[in-house]
Amino acid sequence: MKIGIVCYPTFGGSGVVATELGKALADRGHQVHFVTYNQPARLDLFSENLFYHEVSVSNYPLFDFPPYELALASRLVDVVRHEKLDVLHVHYAIPHASAAFMAKQILLTYGIYIPVVTTLHGTDITLVGKDRTFKPVVTFSINQSDGVTAVSENLRHDTYEFFEIDTDIKVIPNFIDLTRFSLKAKDHFKKAIAPSGEKVLVHTSNFRKVKRTEDVVRIFAEVIKKIPSKLLMVGDGPERSGCEQLCRDLGVADNVRFLGKQDAIEEILSVADLFLMPSQSESFGLAALEAMACKVPVISTNAGGLPELNVDGVTGFLKDVGDVEGMGESAIYILEDEDRLNQFKENALARAKEFDLATILPLYENYYLEVIDKCKDKCKELCTGKAKIA
């Protein structure tokens, strides 16, 4: 197949999933074309089957804001026509699904019907999508997609609850490339972080309010009262400065390192003992899955799709949003006994294996074929028999 992928080229979950999916599809022999405004953070172009098409947005004095959606739609038309794509897979509803619909309508004038698969990742539904300003566009774009997937049952449920959706949504969970995350811990790195054998706790996020990063610091402040520990805060965003100040206020700053954005997150996770995710909302919890793939148990909230991943009392613990005391107690419970900690680590890895790329990838391949086959009749109807699937 020739597959077009549209995503945000960032370190966020949707961009990471889209990029890793595209790379895996290319490895399986499919031709994959990424269409976005920057090269995706994890995209390795050293493959004969991977292509990147940049979306350039011109700045005109007439516009207060660059018209990215129009530029994206135009670029999609060009790529579909000249690369003869079989299907477009757009990640995140706004503005990718709506831009894909616009491109699809334009392509009909060329006698081409391009099937569009939209994957919903979370905040496009739970935050952005619930904004009344965007709700009609999100609803329309989802309903006009030829196929729709969600990364968790919880997100599927929320989408039907928040929007008037009249199409089927298939759940295909996020995945992990276990070959990438099966690193052996580097002793010299571990000693640099925890020179006296302290336990290492890790949090990774984009430091937005929904991640409740200050709760991470408060949980750590409870843990270090009982267990010598270090905390690694990976990522960056608007809440970072507040977290740094809270570390000083709570007297734990000397035991906390803010590492900023990191590409090789697996190297950091490989030396970790516990992962903290006290988020207000998570559609799936990809960062938690990455931790589990590195044999790191997870303390998380029971919000969104996290209970579908983190098994309470087995791979870690689930607590209510804001229950800092409970999360701290659970963290101490895991860390205070070495045999117990090792069992939780083994359980975490076993659970991560259920989301291995080799298991999830065929679900997408089969879904593409299903959508393409379903669209053959649409193609004949809308193009009066003159078109073919792009």
Task: Say if residue 228's pLDDT is above 90.
Answer: yes
Instruction: Tell me the pLDDT tens digit for each residue of 172-184.
Output: 999 998 888 876 6
Stretch 348-354: mean pLDDT? 96
Task: Say if residue 33's pLDDT is above 80.
Answer: yes
CA 209, CA 40: separation in Å to the nearest integer?
24
CA 154, CA 136: separation in Å to the nearest integer?
22
The burial class, CB within 10 Å (0-12 / 13-18 / 19+), for 386 is exposed
Please give the model's pTM, rounded to 2 decimal places. 0.86
Structure tokens at 324: 């800092």
The pLDDT of residue 12 is: 65
Residue, of 56 and 82, whose pLDDT is higher: 82
CA 266, CA 319: separation in Å to the nearest integer?
25
Q: Is the Cα torsion angle 78, 83, 86, 90 positive or negative in sign?
A: negative
Stretch 321-327: mean pLDDT? 97
Q: What is the CATH number assigned to the segment(s) 2-175+357-389?
A: 3.40.50.2000
- Answer whether 335's CB lies under 8 Å from 229's CB: yes
Stretch 233-237: mean pLDDT? 94
- Answer whether 361's CB lies under 8 Å from 367's CB: no
Instruction: Tell me the pLDDT tens digit for each residue of 172-221.
Output: 999 998 888 876 666 778 888 888 999 999 999 999 999 999 999 999 99
The pLDDT of residue 379 is: 66
Structure tokens at 344: 């939780």
CATH among 3.40.50.2000, 3.90.1170.50, 3.30.9.30, 1.10.10.10 for 187-353: 3.40.50.2000
Instruction: Return the domain boundaries, the chain.
Output: 2-175+357-389, 187-353
Instruction: Tell me the pLDDT tens digit for each residue of 96-154.
Output: 999 999 999 999 999 899 999 999 987 767 665 556 778 888 899 999 999 999 999 99
Intrachain domains 2-175+357-389 and 187-353 with the same fold = yes
| Three-state secondary structure of the chain | CEEEEECCCCCCHHHHHHHHHHHHHHHCCCEEEEEECCCCCCCCCCCCCEEEEECCCCCCCCCCCCCHHHHHHHHHHHHHHHHCCCEEEEECHHHHHHHHHHHHHHHHCCCEECCEEEEECCHHHHCCCCCCCCHHHHHHHHHHCCEEEECCHHHHHHHHHHCCCCCCEEECCCCECCCCCCCCCCHHHHHHHCCCCCEEEEEECCCCHHHCHHHHHHHHHHHHHHCCEEEEEEECCCCHHHHHHHHHHCCCHHHEEEEECCCCHHHHHCCCCEEEECCCCCCCCHHHHHHHHCCCCEEEECCCCHHHCCCECCCEEEECCCCHHHHHHHHHHHHCCHHHHHHHHHHHHHHHHCCEHHHHHHHHHHHHHHHHHHHHHHHHHHCCCCCEEC
The pLDDT of residue 40 is: 79
Range of weakest confidence among 69-73, 343-347, 384-388: 384-388
Within 10 angstroms of residue 242's Cβ, the number of other Cβ atoms is 14
